A and B are shown apart, each in its own frame.
Chain A
Amino acid sequence: MKNRTIALCSAALLAFMVAGNFVGTLFPAYAQMNGPAAAEKHKWSYAALKKAPDEARARVNPLENDPDAQAAGGKLFEQHCAECHGRKAEGGKRGPSLRAHEVEEATPGAIFWVLTNGIVRHGMPDWSKVPEPERWQIVRFIQSFKISGALQSPAGQR
């Protein structure tokens, strides 16, 4: 009897938690009711750039003059960021466009700060697990959009 109770409780707990986990996935309407709409979410993402502390915003990219930084950043962007922000950084289902005016205007330090801290409550994980020089390489790549006006294809891509 005791074993059956434990088994039933376990099954109920498991079912509850699994259902909880997937409710946002299986019923997007419900998820939208509770979560921010896509546009709202993207607004949050751009607002985060302005929330960077002054000290962080003032940081200069130490790899600004590294000739390989942009190409390496392009490779890292493809590996870590393109899934949400799109291969050409034009924005995707989950992440906003990084070719927006707000990103172009942001300092390298502000972009680095968002990359390091993420916007965890609004879906963007923090990327501090990527070593600091690699994060600066990604920043260099993102900032290359405003210089070139067009996406520069990362080296080593098909």
Chain B
Amino acid sequence: MAGDHNWMGNARSWARRALREVLTSGQARSVREIGRVSQGQCARAFLLSLSTLALGCCGLFCPSSFAQESPYIVTYDHYLEEPGSLEVEYFSTFGTQRGGNDFHAYWVEFEYGVKAWWTTEIYLDGQTTFNDSTLFTGFRFENRFRPLKQEHFINPVIYIEYEQTSGADKILKEVEGHDIESDLAEPNGSLRQDHDHELEFKLLLSKSFKGWNVAVNPLFTKNLSPSEPWEFGYAVGASRPLALKAVPNRCNFCRENFIAGVEMYGGLGDAKSFGLHETSHYLAPVVAWNLPSGWTLRLSPGFGLNDNSHRFLLRWGVSREFSGFGEMVSRLFGGRP
């Protein structure tokens, strides 16, 4: 009996210690922070549900179409979305972090071809920092315009993006100015206090020749806060399908369905201090697998090229293109497609 009493007492004190541990250390230091974690989990669940819902709805009402997608994740070539088609994409970035916790950032992308010369996109960003929290970190609204009617030796596309993100945004969709690894080392609680409203301009220059695509994207960013200078960056990429001729039969594993390449991107300082000083740069092999069912899978391990860069970034993405989305919306509103 005394033994039982002793056991009960030990269990009670263990439970008290465990509760104190949960409330005071590590993942959740206060009840308020527990609330924040669960809010963050809601954000992640929201993004995942949204992409699943969009994929499901489009899958029900729109036929999917084979997409000859490029393998790039950061670099853009000059090809726009086909008019009336919607592409739903989900991307992940796992990043290592010195002086802080590793992270998993993700974004959902809705890309719609308005015209053959105009594509518009909305991004929703989120991230989970291990041993910290999960946050919804903002949105981006992007438009790409193709000014020239035909293919030329080099094909320019004008890219304009408005983004409203918090300092905790870690998707690293582009690297600009003096963005370096240590910027993201602080806990989410303090990073999320910063809010960025930025306009971003890119000139997408791209050329396809003998199966190869080469793309160069200079980048110019202006934080809408008047005190912030213009920031600069770049992304370059080269890619090629593994086979240039199609085989007659429908197949998943034919070489023509795989496109491999490499991309490199980084910051170039700002208007006050242009150059490579205090900037980060990455080199990343990329591969895309375009499935005949309409799905595209992408994988890209990225490596930091200097001490200011994250040592390793692992990116992957899944996307699906739905043709006739515009017509489906038109029918919903009673219009004639």
A residues touching B (Cβ–Cβ < 8 Å)?
3, 6, 10, 13-14, 17, 21-22, 24-29, 63, 68, 71-76, 79-80, 83, 93-94, 116-126, 128-134, 137, 154-157
- Nearest neighbor of B244 in chain A, beta-carbon distance: A131
B65 in the interface, Cβ–Cβ < 8 Å?
A: yes
A-B contact pairs, 9 of them (CB 8 A): A6-B197, A25-B327, A72-B247, A75-B250, A117-B150, A118-B150, A121-B117, A121-B149, A128-B151
Q: Closest Cβ of chain A: how far from B242's Cβ, in Å? A: 11
Q: Closest Cβ of chain A: how far from B147's Cβ, in Å? A: 10
Please, which residues of chain A bring their CB within 8 A of the CB of B164?
A: 10
Given contacts A63-B245, A126-B79, A130-B68, 18 further A-B contacts (CB under 8 A): A21-B112, A25-B84, A25-B326, A26-B330, A27-B335, A29-B335, A68-B247, A79-B66, A83-B323, A94-B83, A117-B149, A117-B151, A118-B116, A120-B116, A125-B83, A128-B79, A128-B151, A137-B245
Select the stretch in B15-23, B207-215, B267-275 that faces chain A: B207-215
B120 in the interface, Cβ–Cβ < 8 Å?
A: yes
Please, which residues of chain B bring their CB within 8 A of the CB of A134?
A: 244-246, 256
CB atoms of B162 and A13 under 8 A apart: yes
Report the separation of the CA atoms of residues A94 and B65 in the bound assembly, to the nearest whole angstrom. Answer: 15
Interface string of B84-118 (1 = CB under 8 A from A): 10000000000000000000000000001111110
The 10 closest A-B pairs by CB, nearest first: A71-B248, A79-B66, A156-B249, A131-B244, A156-B250, A72-B246, A117-B150, A133-B245, A25-B326, A28-B335
Instruction: Count chain B CB atoms within 10 A of each CB in A25, A116, A117, A123 and give the residue with the most.
Output: A25
CB atoms of A21 and B335 under 8 A apart: no
Report the separation of the CA atoms of residues A98 and B34 in the bound assembly, to the nearest whole angstrom. Answer: 62
Please, which residues of chain A bring their CB within 8 A of the CB of B335?
A: 25-29
CB atoms of A93 and B68 under 8 A apart: no
Q: Closest Cβ of chain B: how far from A73's Cβ, in Å? A: 8
Given contacts A21-B120, A28-B335, A134-B246, A123 and B208 within 8 Å (CB-CB): no
Report the separation of the CA atoms of residues A116 and B120 in the bound assembly, to the nearest whole angstrom. Answer: 23
CB atoms of B149 and A123 under 8 A apart: no
CB atoms of A80 and B66 under 8 A apart: yes
CB atoms of B244 and A133 under 8 A apart: yes
Interface string of B188-216 (1 = CB under 8 A from A): 00000001010000000000101101000
Q: Closest Cβ of chain A: how far from B174's Cβ, in Å? A: 20
CB atoms of A75 and B248 under 8 A apart: yes
CB atoms of A120 and B141 under 8 A apart: no
- Nearest neighbor of B197 in chain A, beta-carbon distance: A6
Please, which residues of chain B bring their CB within 8 A of the CB of A22?
A: 326, 329
CB atoms of A120 and B149 under 8 A apart: yes
Please, which residues of chain A bring their CB within 8 A of the CB of B162?
A: 10, 13
Q: Closest Cβ of chain B: how far from A114's Cβ, in Å? A: 10
Q: Closest Cβ of chain B: how far from A26's Cβ, in Å? A: 5
Please, which residues of chain B bring their CB within 8 A of the CB of A28?
A: 330, 335-337
Interface string of B244-267 (1 = CB under 8 A from A): 111111100000100000000000
Report the separation of the CA atoms of residues A119 and B151 in the bound assembly, to the nearest whole angstrom. Answer: 10
CB atoms of A83 and B250 under 8 A apart: no
Q: Closest Cβ of chain B: how far from A121's Cβ, in Å? A: 6
- Nearest neighbor of B66 in chain A, beta-carbon distance: A79
CB atoms of B248 and A68 under 8 A apart: yes
B241 in the interface, Cβ–Cβ < 8 Å?
A: yes
Which residue in B66, B141, B149 is a CB contact (below 8 Å) of A17?
A: B141
B179 in the interface, Cβ–Cβ < 8 Å?
A: no
- Nearest neighbor of A116 in chain B, beta-carbon distance: B151
Which residue in B113, B208, B292 is a CB contact (below 8 Å) of A129?
A: B208
Please, which residues of chain B bring their CB within 8 A of the CB of A17?
A: 120, 141, 143
Please, which residues of chain B bring their CB within 8 A of the CB of A14?
A: 141
B333 in the interface, Cβ–Cβ < 8 Å?
A: yes
Please, which residues of chain A bring their CB within 8 A of the CB of B117?
A: 120-121
Interface string of B304-336 (1 = CB under 8 A from A): 000000000000000000011011011001011
Please, which residues of chain B bring their CB within 8 A of the CB of A74?
A: 248
Report the separation of the CA atoms of residues A22 and B329 in the bound assembly, to the nearest whole angstrom. Answer: 9
Please, which residues of chain A bring their CB within 8 A of the CB of B337?
A: 28, 93
Q: Closest Cβ of chain B: how far from A137's Cβ, in Å? A: 6
- Nearest neighbor of A82 in chain B, beta-carbon distance: B65
Report the separation of the CA atoms of residues A121 and B114 in the bound assembly, to the nearest whole angstrom. Answer: 12
